[in-house]
Protein backbone atom coordinates (compact mmCIF):
# COMPACT_ATOMS: atom_id res chain seq x y z
CA UNK A 1 0.00 0.00 0.00
CA UNK A 2 1.62 3.20 -1.18
CA UNK A 3 -0.67 6.11 -0.52
CA UNK A 4 -2.63 7.64 2.33
CA UNK A 5 -5.68 7.60 0.06
CA UNK A 6 -5.43 3.79 -0.22
CA UNK A 7 -5.24 3.52 3.57
CA UNK A 8 -8.23 5.84 3.99
CA UNK A 9 -10.38 3.83 1.57
CA UNK A 10 -9.45 0.50 3.16
CA UNK A 11 -10.03 1.92 6.64
CA UNK A 12 -13.53 3.03 5.56
CA UNK A 13 -14.21 -0.43 4.11
CA UNK A 14 -13.03 -2.17 7.30
CA UNK A 15 -15.23 0.08 9.43
CA UNK A 16 -18.29 -0.74 7.32
CA UNK A 17 -17.58 -4.46 7.60
CA UNK A 18 -17.14 -4.16 11.36
CA UNK A 19 -20.35 -2.21 11.77
CA UNK A 20 -22.25 -4.82 9.75
CA UNK A 21 -20.86 -7.63 11.90
CA UNK A 22 -21.47 -5.86 15.20
CA UNK A 23 -25.08 -4.83 14.65
CA UNK A 24 -26.36 -7.72 16.71
CA UNK A 25 -23.81 -7.24 19.49
CA UNK A 26 -24.09 -3.78 20.97
CA UNK A 27 -21.63 -4.29 23.83
CA UNK A 28 -18.15 -5.68 23.21
CA UNK A 29 -14.77 -5.32 24.89
CA UNK A 30 -11.65 -3.69 23.47
CA UNK A 31 -10.03 -7.12 23.12
CA UNK A 32 -13.03 -8.41 21.14
CA UNK A 33 -12.91 -5.38 18.88
CA UNK A 34 -9.21 -5.92 18.18
CA UNK A 35 -9.93 -9.62 17.41
CA UNK A 36 -12.61 -8.64 14.86
CA UNK A 37 -10.24 -6.13 13.22
CA UNK A 38 -7.46 -8.73 13.03
CA UNK A 39 -9.84 -11.19 11.34
CA UNK A 40 -10.70 -8.63 8.67
CA UNK A 41 -7.05 -7.67 8.10
CA UNK A 42 -6.12 -11.35 7.69
CA UNK A 43 -8.20 -11.29 4.50
CA UNK A 44 -5.73 -8.78 2.99
CA UNK A 45 -2.44 -10.67 2.52
CA UNK A 46 -1.20 -7.96 0.14
CA UNK A 47 -0.71 -5.59 3.10
CA UNK A 48 2.74 -5.28 4.67
CA UNK A 49 3.09 -5.51 8.45
CA UNK A 50 3.48 -1.75 8.86
CA UNK A 51 0.23 -1.05 7.01
CA UNK A 52 -1.60 -3.72 8.99
CA UNK A 53 -0.44 -2.24 12.29
CA UNK A 54 -1.45 1.26 11.19
CA UNK A 55 -4.92 0.15 10.04
CA UNK A 56 -5.41 -1.95 13.19
CA UNK A 57 -4.91 1.12 15.40
CA UNK A 58 -6.71 3.50 13.03
CA UNK A 59 -9.88 1.41 12.91
CA UNK A 60 -9.82 0.81 16.66
CA UNK A 61 -9.36 4.55 17.32
CA UNK A 62 -12.36 5.37 15.13
CA UNK A 63 -14.52 3.24 17.44
CA UNK A 64 -12.98 3.79 20.84
CA UNK A 65 -10.94 7.00 20.78
CA UNK A 66 -10.72 10.26 18.80
CA UNK A 67 -10.37 8.66 15.38
CA UNK A 68 -7.71 10.19 13.13
CA UNK A 69 -6.62 12.62 15.87
CA UNK A 70 -5.44 9.82 18.18
CA UNK A 71 -2.12 9.67 16.34
CA UNK A 72 -1.18 13.30 17.05
CA UNK A 73 -2.75 13.30 20.52
CA UNK A 74 -0.36 10.49 21.45
CA UNK A 75 2.63 12.38 20.04
CA UNK A 76 4.32 14.30 22.86
CA UNK A 77 6.01 16.66 20.36
CA UNK A 78 2.63 17.95 19.13
CA UNK A 79 1.36 20.74 21.39
CA UNK A 80 -1.58 22.11 19.38
CA UNK A 81 -4.00 20.73 16.79
CA UNK A 82 -5.94 23.14 14.57
CA UNK A 83 -8.78 21.71 12.47
CA UNK A 84 -9.99 24.34 9.98
CA UNK A 85 -12.30 21.89 8.20
CA UNK A 86 -12.58 18.15 7.66
CA UNK A 87 -9.91 18.37 4.93
CA UNK A 88 -7.55 20.90 6.52
CA UNK A 89 -5.63 20.12 9.72
CA UNK A 90 -2.59 21.99 11.04
CA UNK A 91 -0.42 20.96 13.98
CA UNK A 92 2.20 22.70 16.11
CA UNK A 93 5.12 20.33 16.54
CA UNK A 94 8.06 21.34 18.74
CA UNK A 95 7.05 25.01 18.41
CA UNK A 96 6.68 24.98 14.60
CA UNK A 97 3.41 25.09 12.63
CA UNK A 98 2.86 22.66 9.77
CA UNK A 99 0.00 21.20 7.76
CA UNK A 100 -0.76 17.58 8.63
CA UNK A 101 -0.94 15.09 5.79
CA UNK A 102 -4.08 13.38 7.09
CA UNK A 103 -7.72 14.45 7.15
CA UNK A 104 -11.20 13.27 8.07
CA UNK A 105 -13.11 11.03 5.70
CA UNK A 106 -16.10 13.40 5.69
CA UNK A 107 -17.65 16.36 7.45
CA UNK A 108 -20.06 13.95 9.17
CA UNK A 109 -17.11 12.11 10.72
CA UNK A 110 -15.71 15.37 12.13
CA UNK A 111 -19.13 16.42 13.44
CA UNK A 112 -19.56 13.04 15.13
CA UNK A 113 -16.16 13.46 16.81
CA UNK A 114 -17.10 16.95 18.06
CA UNK A 115 -20.34 15.68 19.60
CA UNK A 116 -18.44 12.85 21.27
CA UNK A 117 -16.01 15.32 22.88
CA UNK A 118 -18.57 17.81 24.19
CA UNK A 119 -21.04 15.18 25.40
CA UNK A 120 -18.42 13.68 27.73
CA UNK A 121 -18.52 16.82 29.87
CA UNK A 122 -22.27 17.42 29.49
CA UNK A 123 -21.98 20.34 27.09
CA UNK A 124 -23.93 21.07 23.93
CA UNK A 125 -22.86 22.52 20.61
CA UNK A 126 -25.22 22.98 17.65
CA UNK A 127 -26.40 25.63 15.19
CA UNK A 128 -28.18 27.47 18.03
CA UNK A 129 -25.07 27.52 20.25
CA UNK A 130 -22.24 27.11 17.72
CA UNK A 131 -19.33 27.98 20.04
CA UNK A 132 -18.26 25.86 23.01
CA UNK A 133 -15.22 25.23 25.20
CA UNK A 134 -14.56 21.67 26.31
CA UNK A 135 -11.69 19.43 27.42
CA UNK A 136 -10.35 15.96 26.84
CA UNK A 137 -9.77 13.36 29.53
CA UNK A 138 -6.06 14.23 29.72
CA UNK A 139 -6.91 17.90 30.41
CA UNK A 140 -6.28 19.18 26.88
CA UNK A 141 -8.32 22.30 26.05
CA UNK A 142 -10.82 22.09 23.18
CA UNK A 143 -12.51 25.03 21.44
CA UNK A 144 -15.23 24.34 18.85
CA UNK A 145 -16.89 26.67 16.34
CA UNK A 146 -19.58 25.29 14.02
CA UNK A 147 -21.08 26.61 10.76
CA UNK A 148 -22.59 29.01 9.89
CA UNK A 149 -20.15 30.93 12.13
CA UNK A 150 -17.20 28.93 10.75
CA UNK A 151 -17.36 29.33 6.98
CA UNK A 152 -15.07 26.46 5.93
CA UNK A 153 -16.75 23.89 8.14
CA UNK A 154 -16.55 22.71 11.77
CA UNK A 155 -13.46 24.25 13.37
CA UNK A 156 -11.71 22.66 16.36
CA UNK A 157 -8.64 23.89 18.23
CA UNK A 158 -7.02 21.52 20.75
CA UNK A 159 -4.33 22.81 23.11
CA UNK A 160 -2.57 19.85 24.68
CA UNK A 161 -1.47 19.68 28.31
CA UNK A 162 0.31 16.32 28.38
CA UNK A 163 1.76 16.76 31.87
CA UNK A 164 1.97 19.53 34.46
CA UNK A 165 4.84 21.94 33.75
CA UNK A 166 6.80 22.86 36.87
CA UNK A 167 8.86 25.98 37.52
CA UNK A 168 11.94 23.75 37.34
CA UNK A 169 11.03 22.79 33.77
CA UNK A 170 10.32 26.42 32.87
CA UNK A 171 13.82 27.30 34.08
CA UNK A 172 15.26 24.53 31.88
CA UNK A 173 13.22 25.88 28.95
CA UNK A 174 14.79 29.31 29.64
CA UNK A 175 11.37 30.84 30.37
CA UNK A 176 12.63 32.48 33.57
CA UNK A 177 15.68 32.47 35.83
CA UNK A 178 16.21 30.51 39.02
CA UNK A 179 16.37 33.77 40.98
CA UNK A 180 13.01 34.97 39.62
CA UNK A 181 11.46 31.54 40.26
CA UNK A 182 12.63 31.54 43.90
CA UNK A 183 11.24 35.04 44.29
CA UNK A 184 7.81 34.04 42.92
CA UNK A 185 7.72 30.94 45.13
CA UNK A 186 8.31 33.14 48.19
CA UNK A 187 5.46 35.43 47.07
CA UNK A 188 3.04 32.50 46.72
CA UNK A 189 3.94 31.18 50.16
CA UNK A 190 3.66 34.70 51.59
CA UNK A 191 0.08 34.92 50.26
CA UNK A 192 0.58 37.74 47.78
CA UNK A 193 -2.26 38.22 45.29
CA UNK A 194 -0.70 37.49 41.89
CA UNK A 195 -2.21 38.20 38.48
CA UNK A 196 -0.71 36.58 35.37
CA UNK A 197 -1.18 38.44 32.09
CA UNK A 198 -0.19 37.69 28.52
CA UNK A 199 -1.34 37.31 24.96
CA UNK A 200 -3.02 34.30 23.38
CA UNK A 201 -0.92 31.13 23.61
CA UNK A 202 1.64 32.78 25.89
CA UNK A 203 1.41 30.05 28.55
CA UNK A 204 -0.73 31.78 31.21
CA UNK A 205 -2.57 28.65 32.36
CA UNK A 206 0.63 26.60 32.37
CA UNK A 207 2.38 29.23 34.49
CA UNK A 208 -0.58 29.53 36.87
CA UNK A 209 -0.52 25.76 37.29
CA UNK A 210 3.21 25.82 38.02
CA UNK A 211 2.88 28.56 40.64
CA UNK A 212 -0.08 26.89 42.35
CA UNK A 213 2.07 23.86 43.22
CA UNK A 214 3.74 25.99 45.93
CA UNK A 215 0.55 26.69 47.85
CA UNK A 216 0.97 25.16 51.34
CA UNK A 217 -0.76 21.79 51.58
CA UNK A 218 -2.68 22.69 54.75
CA UNK A 219 -4.81 25.36 53.02
CA UNK A 220 -8.28 25.11 51.47
CA UNK A 221 -8.26 26.13 47.81
CA UNK A 222 -11.16 26.78 45.42
CA UNK A 223 -10.43 26.79 41.67
CA UNK A 224 -12.87 28.39 39.21
CA UNK A 225 -12.53 27.83 35.45
CA UNK A 226 -14.48 27.94 32.22
CA UNK A 227 -13.05 24.56 31.34
CA UNK A 228 -11.16 22.72 34.08
CA UNK A 229 -7.45 22.62 33.21
CA UNK A 230 -5.57 23.22 36.45
CA UNK A 231 -3.89 20.18 37.99
CA UNK A 232 -3.15 21.05 41.62
CA UNK A 233 -1.81 17.90 43.26
CA UNK A 234 -0.27 19.09 46.49
CA UNK A 235 -3.41 20.47 48.18
CA UNK A 236 -5.74 17.79 49.64
CA UNK A 237 -8.48 20.29 50.59
CA UNK A 238 -9.28 21.31 47.03
CA UNK A 239 -12.62 22.17 45.40
CA UNK A 240 -12.69 22.54 41.59
CA UNK A 241 -15.60 24.42 40.01
CA UNK A 242 -16.44 24.70 36.30
CA UNK A 243 -18.91 26.93 34.48
CA UNK A 244 -21.93 25.56 32.62
CA UNK A 245 -23.55 26.84 29.46
CA UNK A 246 -27.28 27.44 29.17
CA UNK A 247 -29.40 24.59 27.83
CA UNK A 248 -31.46 24.64 24.63
CA UNK A 249 -34.17 26.64 26.42
CA UNK A 250 -31.64 29.26 27.49
CA UNK A 251 -31.73 28.15 31.13
CA UNK A 252 -29.33 26.66 33.64
CA UNK A 253 -26.25 28.76 32.87
CA UNK A 254 -23.67 28.91 35.67
CA UNK A 255 -21.20 31.74 35.00
CA UNK A 256 -17.78 32.56 36.45
CA UNK A 257 -19.52 35.33 38.36
CA UNK A 258 -21.90 32.81 39.96
CA UNK A 259 -19.04 30.51 40.91
CA UNK A 260 -16.90 33.25 42.46
CA UNK A 261 -19.84 34.32 44.61
CA UNK A 262 -20.51 30.71 45.59
CA UNK A 263 -16.86 30.11 46.46
CA UNK A 264 -16.96 32.85 49.12
CA UNK A 265 -19.38 30.67 51.11
CA UNK A 266 -17.04 27.68 51.02
CA UNK A 267 -14.52 29.00 53.56
CA UNK A 268 -11.58 29.20 51.13
CA UNK A 269 -8.08 30.24 52.12
CA UNK A 270 -7.34 31.03 48.48
CA UNK A 271 -9.37 31.40 45.31
CA UNK A 272 -7.81 30.63 41.93
CA UNK A 273 -9.72 32.00 38.93
CA UNK A 274 -8.60 30.44 35.65
CA UNK A 275 -9.12 33.49 33.47
CA UNK A 276 -11.19 36.66 33.76
CA UNK A 277 -12.66 38.14 30.59
CA UNK A 278 -15.52 40.37 31.72
CA UNK A 279 -17.74 41.41 34.59
CA UNK A 280 -16.62 38.49 36.79
CA UNK A 281 -13.42 40.51 37.38
CA UNK A 282 -15.37 42.68 39.84
CA UNK A 283 -16.23 39.65 41.99
CA UNK A 284 -12.64 38.40 41.76
CA UNK A 285 -11.29 41.75 42.99
CA UNK A 286 -13.86 41.84 45.79
CA UNK A 287 -12.74 38.35 46.88
CA UNK A 288 -9.09 39.45 46.93
CA UNK A 289 -10.08 42.52 48.96
CA UNK A 290 -12.05 40.57 51.58
CA UNK A 291 -9.46 38.42 53.26
CA UNK A 292 -8.58 35.86 50.60
CA UNK A 293 -4.90 36.71 50.34
CA UNK A 294 -2.80 34.55 48.07
CA UNK A 295 -5.39 34.37 45.30
CA UNK A 296 -4.30 33.90 41.69
CA UNK A 297 -5.84 34.66 38.30
CA UNK A 298 -5.00 35.31 34.65
CA UNK A 299 -6.09 37.62 31.85
CA UNK A 300 -5.30 38.68 28.27
CA UNK A 301 -3.15 41.81 27.79
CA UNK A 302 -0.14 43.13 25.90
CA UNK A 303 1.77 44.28 28.99
CA UNK A 304 1.46 44.49 32.75
CA UNK A 305 0.27 48.11 32.55
CA UNK A 306 -2.20 47.22 29.80
CA UNK A 307 -3.61 44.47 32.03
CA UNK A 308 -4.46 47.03 34.70
CA UNK A 309 -6.27 49.18 32.12
CA UNK A 310 -8.15 46.16 30.78
CA UNK A 311 -9.23 45.21 34.30
CA UNK A 312 -10.77 48.66 34.70
CA UNK A 313 -12.76 48.11 31.51
CA UNK A 314 -13.86 44.65 32.66
CA UNK A 315 -15.08 45.96 36.00
CA UNK A 316 -17.14 48.60 34.19
CA UNK A 317 -18.95 45.77 32.40
CA UNK A 318 -20.23 44.55 35.75
CA UNK A 319 -20.98 47.79 37.60
CA UNK A 320 -21.28 51.50 36.95
CA UNK A 321 -18.59 52.67 39.35
CA UNK A 322 -16.45 55.81 39.12
CA UNK A 323 -13.00 55.13 37.67
CA UNK A 324 -11.14 56.37 40.80
CA UNK A 325 -13.03 53.79 42.88
CA UNK A 326 -12.21 51.02 40.39
CA UNK A 327 -8.52 51.95 40.35
CA UNK A 328 -8.47 51.96 44.14
CA UNK A 329 -10.09 48.52 44.19
CA UNK A 330 -7.55 47.08 41.73
CA UNK A 331 -4.58 48.68 43.48
CA UNK A 332 -5.74 47.31 46.83
CA UNK A 333 -6.49 43.80 45.51
CA UNK A 334 -3.42 43.05 43.38
CA UNK A 335 0.13 42.82 44.68
CA UNK A 336 2.08 41.42 41.74
CA UNK A 337 1.61 41.30 37.94
CA UNK A 338 3.54 38.61 36.03
CA UNK A 339 3.46 39.25 32.27
CA UNK A 340 4.21 36.46 29.78
CA UNK A 341 4.80 36.48 26.05
CA UNK A 342 6.40 34.72 23.11
CA UNK A 343 9.76 36.05 21.93
CA UNK A 344 11.14 36.01 18.39
CA UNK A 345 12.60 32.52 18.90
CA UNK A 346 9.00 31.31 19.55
CA UNK A 347 9.75 30.55 23.21
CA UNK A 348 7.22 31.39 25.90
CA UNK A 349 8.93 33.53 28.54
CA UNK A 350 8.28 35.69 31.57
CA UNK A 351 8.74 39.19 30.17
CA UNK A 352 8.01 41.22 33.29
CA UNK A 353 7.36 40.90 37.01
CA UNK A 354 6.04 44.11 38.55
CA UNK A 355 4.71 45.19 41.92
CA UNK A 356 1.55 47.28 42.23
CA UNK A 357 2.57 50.16 44.49
CA UNK A 358 -0.14 52.82 44.33
CA UNK A 359 -2.00 55.36 42.20
CA UNK A 360 -0.36 58.40 40.65
CA UNK A 361 -1.82 60.90 38.14
CA UNK A 362 -4.96 58.78 37.67
CA UNK A 363 -2.85 55.72 36.76
CA UNK A 364 -2.09 52.61 38.79
CA UNK A 365 1.65 52.68 39.33
CA UNK A 366 3.91 49.66 38.91
CA UNK A 367 7.39 49.01 40.26
CA UNK A 368 9.16 46.77 37.68
CA UNK A 369 11.12 44.12 39.58
CA UNK A 370 12.27 41.90 36.69
CA UNK A 371 12.23 42.56 32.95
CA UNK A 372 13.29 40.54 29.91
CA UNK A 373 15.99 42.48 28.07
CA UNK A 374 16.06 40.41 24.89
CA UNK A 375 18.51 37.90 26.33
CA UNK A 376 17.35 37.01 29.83
CA UNK A 377 15.14 38.13 32.71
CA UNK A 378 17.08 40.88 34.50
CA UNK A 379 16.44 42.08 38.04
CA UNK A 380 15.69 45.83 38.10
CA UNK A 381 14.56 46.63 41.64
CA UNK A 382 13.67 45.25 45.04
CA UNK A 383 10.18 44.71 46.39
CA UNK A 384 9.14 47.91 48.16
CA UNK A 385 6.96 45.92 50.57
CA UNK A 386 9.91 43.72 51.63
CA UNK A 387 8.99 43.90 55.30
CA UNK A 388 5.43 42.87 54.48
CA UNK A 389 6.83 39.82 52.67
CA UNK A 390 9.05 38.91 55.61
CA UNK A 391 6.16 39.34 58.05
CA UNK A 392 3.95 37.03 55.99
CA UNK A 393 6.68 34.39 55.78
pLDDT in tens, 269-278: 999 998 898 8
Compute the mean pLDDT over every residue in the chain, rounded to the nearest whole number: 84
**Three-class SS string for 333-393?**
HCCEEEEEEECCCCCEEEEEEEEEEEEECCEEEEEEEEEECCCCEEECCCCCCHHHHHHHC
Helix or strand holding residue 242 (H, E) = strand 238-242
Do residues 304 and 337 touch, judged by C-beta distance below 8 A? yes
Q: What is the DSSP letter of 164?
A: P
pLDDT of residue 5: 44
Residues, the chain: 393
Report the range of poorest mean pLDDT among 128-137, 204-213, 321-330.
Answer: 128-137
Segments in 213-363 forming alpha helices (H): 256-263, 280-288, 304-318, 323-333
pLDDT in tens, 2-54: 444 466 666 566 656 655 555 544 555 666 666 676 666 666 777 777 776 76
pLDDT of residue 388: 58
pLDDT, mean of residues 259-286: 91
How far are the Cα atoms of 28, 171, 191 from residue 93, in angstroms, in the given order?
36, 21, 37
pLDDT of residue 62: 59
- Measure CA of the first residue to CA of the last residue in the chain; give whole Å: 66
pLDDT of residue 2: 47
Q: Is the pLDDT of residue 301 over 70?
A: yes
pLDDT in tens, 334-362: 999 999 998 888 888 999 999 999 999 88
Amino acid sequence: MNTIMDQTELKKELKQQLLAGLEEQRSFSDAELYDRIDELLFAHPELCLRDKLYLRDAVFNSFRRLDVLSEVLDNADVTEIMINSEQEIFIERSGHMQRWDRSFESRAQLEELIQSIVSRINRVVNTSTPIVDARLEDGSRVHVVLPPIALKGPTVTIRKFPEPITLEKLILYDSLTQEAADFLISLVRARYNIFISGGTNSGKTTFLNALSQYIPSDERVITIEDSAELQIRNVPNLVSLETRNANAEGEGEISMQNLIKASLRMSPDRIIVGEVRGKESLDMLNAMNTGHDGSLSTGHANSAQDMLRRLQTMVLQGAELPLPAIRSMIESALDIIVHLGRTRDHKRRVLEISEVIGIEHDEIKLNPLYKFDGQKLEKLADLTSRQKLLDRL
